[in-house]
Amino acid sequence: MRRKKQITILIVKTGALGDVLRTTALLRPLSCAYRARIFWLTSKEAKFLLAQNPLIEKIFTAPRQIAQKFDWTLSLEEDKALAQTAQESFSPKITGVIVKDGKLSYTDDSAPYYQMSLLNPDKKKADNLKRLNRKTFFDLWLSILGLSRFKKSEIARPQIFLTESERKTAFNFARKHSLSGGAIGFNPGAGSRWPSKELSVAKSREILKKLSALKKPILLLGGREEKKRNKTISKGLSGVIVPPPMPIKAFAALIDFCEILITTDSLAFHIATALKKKVLVLIGPTSSSELDVFGQGEKIVAQPCDCFYRPHCSRENSCLNTISESRVFSAVKRLI
Mean pLDDT of 192-212: 90
pLDDT in the model for residue 48: 94
Q: Are residues 188 and 138 in the same domain?
A: no
159 within a domain of the structure (yes/no):
no
pLDDT surpasses 50 at 1: no
Q: Are residues 135 and 187 in the same domain?
A: no
Nearest to 15 by CA among 267, 253, 309, 284: 267
Find the CATH number of the domain harbouring 28. Answer: 3.40.50.2000
Nearest to 26 by CA among 139, 125, 128: 139
pLDDT in the model for residue 95: 97
pLDDT in the model for residue 208: 98
Mean pLDDT of 269-280: 97
Q: Give the chain's domain count.
A: 2
3 within a domain of the structure (yes/no):
no
Domain's final residue, options 115, 150, 185: 150
Q: Are residues 33 and 142 in the same domain?
A: yes
Domain assignment of residue 310, given as a range: 164-335
Q: Are residues 210 and 254 in the same domain?
A: yes
Q: Are residues 245 and 125 in the same domain?
A: no
Nearest to 47 by CA among 20, 81, 83: 20
Q: Are residues 256 and 110 in the same domain?
A: no
Mean pLDDT of 61-75: 94
pLDDT surpasses 60 at 63: yes
51 within a domain of the structure (yes/no):
yes
pLDDT surpasses 80 at 306: no
Q: Are residues 184 and 326 in the same domain?
A: yes
Q: Comparing 189-193, 242-246, 275-279, which segment has the lowest mean pLDDT? A: 189-193
299 within a domain of the structure (yes/no):
yes
Higher pLDDT, 310 or 323: 323
Domain's final residue, options 150, 178, 204: 150
**DSSP of 282-332, one letter per residue?**
EESSS-TTT---TTSEEEEE-S--SSTT-SS--SSS-GGGGS-HHHHHHHH
CB atoms under 10 Å from CB of 31, counted, come to 17
**DSSP of 48-71, one letter per residue?**
HHHTT-TTEEEEESSGGG--S--S
Q: Are residues 180 and 318 in the same domain?
A: yes
156 within a domain of the structure (yes/no):
no
Q: Are residues 73 and 97 in the same domain?
A: yes
Q: Are residues 318 and 181 in the same domain?
A: yes
Domain's final residue, options 100, 115, 150: 150
158 within a domain of the structure (yes/no):
no
155 within a domain of the structure (yes/no):
no
Mean pLDDT of 137-163: 93
**What pLDDT, in 10s, does the model give residues 89-134?**
778 999 999 999 999 999 999 999 999 998 999 988 988 898 889 9
| 311 CB-side CA count, 13 A | 4
Q: Are residues 235 and 129 in the same domain?
A: no
- Would you call 153 helix, strand, or coil by DSSP? coil
pLDDT surpasses 50 at 43: yes
pLDDT surpasses 60 at 3: no
pLDDT in the model for residue 4: 65
Peptide bond into 62 cis (omega under 30): no
50 within a domain of the structure (yes/no):
yes
Question: In angstroms, how far is the first alpha carbon of the chain from the final one?
Answer: 48
pTM for this prediction: 0.93
pLDDT surpasses 90 at 309: no
The mean of the pLDDT values for the chain is 92
Q: Are residues 139 and 170 in the same domain?
A: no
| 79 CB-side CA count, 13 A | 15
Q: Comparing 60-74, 186-200, 267-281, which segment has the lowest mean pLDDT? A: 186-200
